[in-house]
Amino acid sequence: MATTKTQATKVAVALETGAELTAKQISARYGVKNVRAVISQLRTEGYSIFLNKRVSSFDGETYMKYRLGAPLRSVVAAGTQALRVA
């Protein structure tokens, strides 16, 4: 029995391997029509995904890339505190 991966899973695996991807790359590689929705879903699942501005050294154009990172200690502390209160 073959297992199929969802688009969100494919994007998560790519980000976990260290890839930095633009929205256009995510759409082209994984067939995602609504990139923001997939990224939002992954963030809800606990992935710490950042959107960083980059400047091309070739032509000076700016573009945005998604990457996986480590959350700040203050964010983790705030989340832990919110769970204690709830």
For residue range 14-72, list pLDDT tens digits in order. 999 999 999 999 999 999 999 999 999 999 888 999 999 999 888 999 999 999 998 88
pTM of the entire structure?
0.78
Where residue 86 falls among pLDDT bands split at 50, 70, 90? low
User: Domain-by-domain residue ranges, the chain?
Assistant: 7-85
- Burial readout 26-40 (b: 16 or more C-beta within 10 A, e: otherwise): bbeebebeebeebbe
Where residue 83 falls among pLDDT bands split at 50, 70, 90? confident
Assigned CATH topology for domain 7-85:
Arc Repressor Mutant, subunit A (1.10.10)
> SS3 for 5?
coil
pLDDT at site 82: 86
Task: Kindly state the helix (H) or strand (E) to which residue 68 belongs, with its residue range.
Answer: strand 62-68
Residue 14: CB atoms within 10 Å? 18
